[in-house]
């Protein structure tokens, strides 16, 4: 089985429609792919949740966590609608995490055993 990296590409070839060289086009797509990979979650459960949110199967037979994350990146790169859905999922997820963090911060006083003087001093600071 051959790998996509084994395919030889004439980097000097110019697209007749745009005049861009193959090297420029490949560089643009690699940049977009890298940008997408940076925003894709790393936690396996989050990746599965995101895939299901955009209407894809969360798991495929014999697919590992890295493959699943890569599949999500490729789907987002190919389809504008899926990118928008992913953005909605991410915004919703981010708001939930902020809310939970704030609630945890408020509960800190309850979980920290201390005298009333110490609690007052901490709140004052």
pLDDT recorded at residue 81: 93
Task: Decide if 47 contacts 69 (C-beta within 8 A).
Answer: yes
The Cα 124–Cα 118 span in angstroms is 10
In whole angstroms, what is the distance from residue 68 CA to residue 100 CA?
Answer: 27
**What is the per-residue pLDDT for 29?**
72
Local confidence band at 32 (pLDDT 50, 70, 90 cut-offs):
low
4 DSSP 8-state letter:
G
Cα 16 to Cα 8, 13, 24, 71, 86, distances in angstroms: 20, 9, 14, 31, 34
Q: Which domain holds residue 62?
A: 4-124
The domain total for the chain is 1
């Amino acid at each position: 089985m051959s790998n996509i990296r084994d395919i030889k590409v004439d980097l000097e070839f110019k697209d007749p429609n745009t005049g861009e060289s193959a090297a420029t086009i490949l560089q643009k797509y690699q940049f977009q792919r890298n940008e997408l990979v940076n925003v894709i979650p790393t936690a396996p459960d989050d990746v599965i949740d995101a895939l299901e949110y955009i209407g894809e199967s969360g798991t495929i037979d014999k697919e590992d966590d890295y493959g699943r994350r890569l599949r999500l990146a490729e789907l987002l790169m190919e389809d504008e609608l899926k990118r928008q859905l992913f953005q909605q999922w991410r915004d919703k997820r981010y708001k939930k995490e902020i809310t939970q963090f704030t609630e945890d911060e408020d509960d800190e006083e309850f979980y920290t055993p201390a005298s009333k003087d110490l609690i007052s001093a901490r709140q004052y600071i």
